[in-house]
Chains A and B, each alone.
Chain A
Amino acid sequence: DSGVTQTPKHLITATGQRVTLRCSPRSGDLSVYWYQQSLDQGLQFLIQYYNGEERAKGNILERFSAQQFPDLHSELNLSSLELGDSALYFCASSVAGGGTGETQYFGPGTRLLVL
């Protein structure tokens, strides 16, 4: 157990809908990262937050957004869902998130299925 929690574990929804995925980082970690992993694919970096502020952005679609709250938990919002958004969404956290390269610890993931 990495100490990173994600809810829900599974999510089934329809095209055009909006969902929110939630992540709680390890105790003391200030940075949260979101990744998308499609079937048999690698990990695509979406976005990073550090202490409530956006720090880095990857290949995140405009239909997706995220935020990190004062208690450091983060939410990833996916809207106008398409079939191709079906994937495993991982959250990871690290202690700080700058400069020297830090280990990222992954949560168990949320499996999203868009029908």
Chain B
Amino acid sequence: GENVEQHPSTLSVQEGDSAVIKCTYSDSASNYFPWYKQELGKRPQLIIDIRSNVGEKKDQRIAVTLNKTAKHFSLHITETQPEDSAVYFCAASIGGNNDMRFGAGTRLTVKP
């Protein structure tokens, strides 16, 4: 079935460095790609999303890029801060029902 692969599973960076998380998807009909941040014991919260008609989107220190041909998309966080430490999930819409498949998550640790 359709799935979303996410790498790496853990990522540790020094404060101020950049962090990149990559995802690949298998359904060529996927057209919506959100990224969620989940702090320990809390709900996943949308931080940025991108649609298939756009190649890149930026919001302050966060950016997402999409390569539809290669079926992969990436999250870029610049000038990381300790409060960026969390688990990040990518997701891709499946089919026409807004059914969403999530990646397995990346645990990001930003060391002060």
Q: Which residues of A contact B (CB under 8 A)?
A: 2, 31, 33, 35, 41-45, 48, 50, 55-56, 58, 90, 94, 96-109
Given contacts A101-B31, A103-B34, contact A45 B102 (CB under 8 A): yes
Enumerate B60-100 residues with CB–CB distance to A below 8 Å.
89, 93, 95-100
Q: Is B44 close to A, CB under 8 A?
A: yes
Q: How far is the CA of A101 from the CA of B31 in the complex (A)?
A: 7
B97 cross-chain contacts in A, Cβ below 8 A = 48, 50, 55-56, 97-98
Q: How far is the CA of A90 from the CA of B22 in the complex (A)?
A: 24
Q: Is the interface of A mostly helix, strand, loop or mixed?
A: loop
| 6 A-B pairs (CB sep. < 8 Å) | A41-B104, A45-B99, A45-B100, A94-B98, A101-B32, A102-B32
Q: Closest CB of chain B to A113's CB: distance in Å?
A: 14
Q: Is B104 within 8 A of A106, CB to CB?
A: no
Q: How far is the CA of A48 from the CA of B112 in the complex (A)?
A: 41
A-B pairs, top 9 by smallest CB distance, nearest first, are A101-B32, A101-B93, A106-B43, A56-B99, A42-B104, A43-B102, A56-B97, A97-B98, A106-B44
- Nearest B residue to A106 by beta-carbon distance? B43
Q: How far is the CA of A2 from the CA of B36 in the complex (A)?
A: 13
Q: Is B14 close to A, CB under 8 A?
A: no
- Nearest B residue to A107 by beta-carbon distance? B43
Q: Which of B43, B51, B101 has the most CB of A within 10 A?
A: B43
Q: How far is the CA of A90 from the CA of B91 in the complex (A)?
A: 15
A90 cross-chain contacts in B, Cβ below 8 A = 43-44
Q: Is A102 within 8 A of B98, CB to CB?
A: yes
- Among A31, A42, A44, which residue has its beta carbon within 8 angstroms of that of B98? A31
- Among A33, A99, A100, A108, which residue has its beta carbon within 8 angstroms of that of B43? A108
B49 cross-chain contacts in A, Cβ below 8 A = 103
B34 cross-chain contacts in A, Cβ below 8 A = 103-104
B32 cross-chain contacts in A, Cβ below 8 A = 100-102
Q: Is B46 within 8 A of A105, CB to CB?
A: yes
Q: How far is the CA of A105 from the CA of B105 in the complex (A)?
A: 18
Q: How far is the CA of A18 from the CA of B34 in the complex (A)?
A: 34
B99 cross-chain contacts in A, Cβ below 8 A = 45, 48, 55-56, 58
